[in-house]
Amino acid sequence: MGASEPQITQNKKMKIVTTIEELRGQLSGQLRTAFVPTMGNLHEGHLSLMRLAAKHGDPVVASIFVNRLQFGPNEDFEKYPRTFEADCEKLNDAGVYVLFAPNEKELYPEPQEYRVSPPHDLGDILEGEFRPGFFIGVTTVVLKLFSCVQPRAAVFGKKDYQQLMIVRNMCRQFALPTEIIAAETVRAEDGLALSSRNGYLSVTERAEAPQLALALQQVSKRIHAGEKDIAAIEREAFDTLKQRGWQPDYIAVRKRANLQAPSRDEVAAKSSLVVLAAAKLGATRLIDNLEI
């Protein structure tokens, strides 16, 4: 699972498997499997995905795999939190039937030279612009996990809005027999979207972090009030965060259908829009979005 391998302990209810062969043996004959892929360090947002999965299939399968392919050279692969034992307890309590926890050698026994590349107009914008190659790593591992699990349904959170859209489009274009279920973002009481990376925040940074969600809400309010100059709205939200000490990468209003920029007429017509943002607070990069 990265720098160190997890200690595998067999839970009294949930089955923990570490090889593709074991996984396929456990799921042999299952036609309604619901799947939730994760990188571990689980929180309530992840557990809400497990509960939603149970409504769309049976059994529920989760995976924990910190996927090196989606980390850039200066990102936090080695220090990504690995909390395997605690994760197992949470998944067991959430009713997960099988946890697939492969190591890198199992999932990538040879260099993964075949990769899935999303189209440039979706994969190289927003997150793809600031994290080159990220979505290639995501789609490649998701396709491989789908091949291992062969789920009827898979659940992804809306917090990773662009990822959700890319995975859904990939399934459609490859005619995969997997329905992608979107789960609403789970937030703390102060509005901060739950994320494994929130644990990196200092006490002071954690108190400031809800300002990202507030910035999205302010953008939404201005559009609902009839403002049409999207560039100005985005720029002012960007500058507000910067003045508060953030290092924003983007705040962007886009069409939900394809994440392209809306025209003034589409804004005026109240077309289905979403505002997305990514910004660093200290050393921690947070993302969030809000459907308008």
Catalytic residues: 46
- The single-letter DSSP state of residue 260 is P
The end-to-end CA distance of the chain, in Å, is 38
Residue 117 sits at φ, ψ, to 5 deg, of: -110, 115
DSSP strand pairing (15-17 vs 284-291): unpaired
Q: How far apart are CA 225 and CA 236, in angstroms?
A: 16
- What are 11's two structure tokens? 């839970």
Token pair recorded at residue 48: 């809400």
CA distances from 218 to 221, 224, 285 (A): 5, 10, 20
3-class SS shares of the chain: helix, strand, coil, % to 5: 40, 20, 40
Strand positions, DSSP E, the chain: 15-17, 34-38, 60-64, 98-100, 153-157, 179-183, 247-255, 273-281, 284-291
Question: Residues with Cβ < 8 Å from 43, sequence gap 6 or more?
Answer: 194, 195, 196
Residue 236, CA atoms < 13 Å, CB-side half-sphere: 10
Measured CA to CA, the distance from residue 238 to residue 251 in angstroms comes to: 6
Tokens found for residue 262: 């809306």
